[in-house]
Structure 1
Amino acid sequence: MFLTTIVVLLGTGLTVDSGESAHSLHYIYTALSRNVKMPGIHEFTAMGMLDNTLIDYFDSDRQVKFPKQKWMKAELKEDYWKKGTESRQSKQQWFKVNIEILMKRLNQNTHVLQWMHGCEADSQPDGSFVFHKGIDMYSYDGQNFLFFDDENQVWVASVTAAKATKMKWDNVSDLRKYTMGYLENECMEWMNTDHWVLTGRLTEDSIVELCS
């Protein structure tokens, strides 16, 4: 049952259905409570998705964040990937600690914790993007666990086991401010930068040069 859960989670992951006019930038993190030692399945993975296109990747075996699109490698400096690697390694440790907490709370021993956060935006006639909504949600063994209601700026517990985390996080004002700041500002800045290249708003000659 556990291995089936892993395959389902890594095959589909957390997904958000965007409207035709919407664009999205999401990061999906998947942590297993132990290394199952199966080909292609890692104890921790992190993926960047721009309009459902994989743009960067990290896993616990390679321990390096690297580009999955040629334009990402060409456009972003080495320092970006170095800092990104450090960030992913830090998140890997955060997941390791918190999945252990969840297992103790639920009296379980081998499971999967996922987190997806990012933003969605509507395109405008002038080519710019306007913030539509933020996404910050957690699942445990493929079931909704906890998500951030960006309209009301509160965490919502989808199951009883998540209520303790909701109460704790709701009382941390800095966390709420950081979450909103990331969703509405930082995520949107990255979306505008990444999407500008990905959607061909550069000239055809420039794209060829970037991807060569």
Structure 2
Amino acid sequence: MLCAKDTILWGIDLITISNTHSLHYIYTALSRDLGLPGIHKFTAMGMLDNRMIDYFDSENKEKVPKQTWMKDRLDPEYWVKGTQSRQSKQQWFEVNINILKDRMRQNGTDLHVLQWMHGCEGEVQPDGNMMFYRGMDRYSYDGTDFLSFDDTHSVWVTPVKAAEETKRKWDDVPVLKDYTKGYLENECMQWLNKFWSYGMTQLKTPPLGSA
């Protein structure tokens, strides 16, 4: 049976070398509600080294911790603000999946899926802190790469014609590119270091089901 995680279309290679760690957020929006148990029109989750650390969906409408140490170490205000952010992103996805359907002249009865994943990987230094290794900010539509951010050159890239209009608009907004680069290289890394320090003991144990 399908579950919420089955709507994730990317195969994600998060850990590339033994002394790197990763923090990624994955958002999945469906063009319509399927009415199936466990399948939500919108879901969002945080992933730290392949472990889910927080979760939100369009039915429960609340960002919640999925690790005990997340619940214990982060104050209630973090979850309040996180819930507000996820609700805002849900609205953004609802608007933009309709824009894409109209742009591609797709009907309203077929199912379409818009996803966004962004985050960072850090390499552990001798002092125990992590330095930026690489970032990721990319979108897919119906399982196909749609738009991604080239962090090295601070430019949006796309392999599909349908995304060229969005690429042009986003490339013309320097503040968006500066924010995206700054988030990946700085803010994301700050959270990665913090979360890793909070969950270090548990994270040294491989996730259940891993090889």
TM over 0.5: yes
Cα root mean square deviation, aligned = 1.9
- State how far apart, in whole Å, the 1-side matches of 2:50 and 2:4 are: 19
Residue number in structure 2 paired with 1:80: 78
Asked if 1:51 corresponds to 2:52, the answer is no
Q: Does the aligned pair in 2 maintain the 1:14–1:116 contact within 8 Å? A: no
**How far did residue 7 of structure 1 move?**
7.8
Unaligned runs of 5+ in 2: 203-211
**How far did residue 16 of structure 1 move?**
3.1
Out of 5, 10, 14, the position equivalent to 2:7 is 10
Unaligned runs of 5+ in 1: 202-212
Residue number in structure 2 paired with 1:154: 155
- State how far apart, in whole Å, the 1-side matches of 2:69 and 2:135 are: 26
- State how far apart, in whole Å, the 2-side matches of 1:71 and 1:11 are: 25
Residue number in structure 2 paired with 1:60: 58
**How far did residue 138 of structure 1 move?**
0.3
Deviates more, 1:92-101 or 1:15-24: 15-24
Residue number in structure 1 paired with 2:209: none
Asked if 1:197 corresponds to 2:198, the answer is yes
Secondary structure at the counterpart of residue 49 of structure 1: strand
* TM-score under structure 1 length normalisation: 0.88
Secondary structure at the counterpart of residue 200 of structure 1: helix
Residue number in structure 1 paired with 2:98: 100
Residue number in structure 2 paired with 1:179: 180
**Which string of whole-angstrom CA distances, capped at 9 and with x for unpartnered residues, describes residues 138-175 of structure 1?**
00111111000000000001211010000000000110
Residue number in structure 2 paired with 1:206: none
Listed as ranges, the matches of 1:109-148 within 5 Å are: 109=108, 110-148=111-149
Q: Percent identity?
A: 57
Structure richer in helix, relative to its length: 1
Secondary structure at the counterpart of residue 148 of structure 1: strand
- State how far apart, in whole Å, the 1-side matches of 2:49 and 2:143 are: 22
Listed as ranges, the matches of 1:2-41 within 5 Å are: 10=7, 13=10, 15-20=12-17, 21-41=19-39
Secondary structure at the counterpart of residue 39 of structure 2: coil
Q: Does the aligned pair in 2 maintain the 1:9–1:142 contact within 8 Å? A: no
2:80 counterpart letter in structure 1: K
Secondary structure at the counterpart of residue 127 of structure 1: coil
Residue number in structure 1 paired with 2:207: none
Q: Does the aligned pair in 1 maintain the 2:22–2:48 contact within 8 Å? A: yes
Residue number in structure 1 paired with 2:208: none
**Aligned residues between the structures:** 198
- State how far apart, in whole Å, the 2-side matches of 1:176 and 1:136 are: 11
Deviates more, 1:169-178 or 1:9-18: 9-18
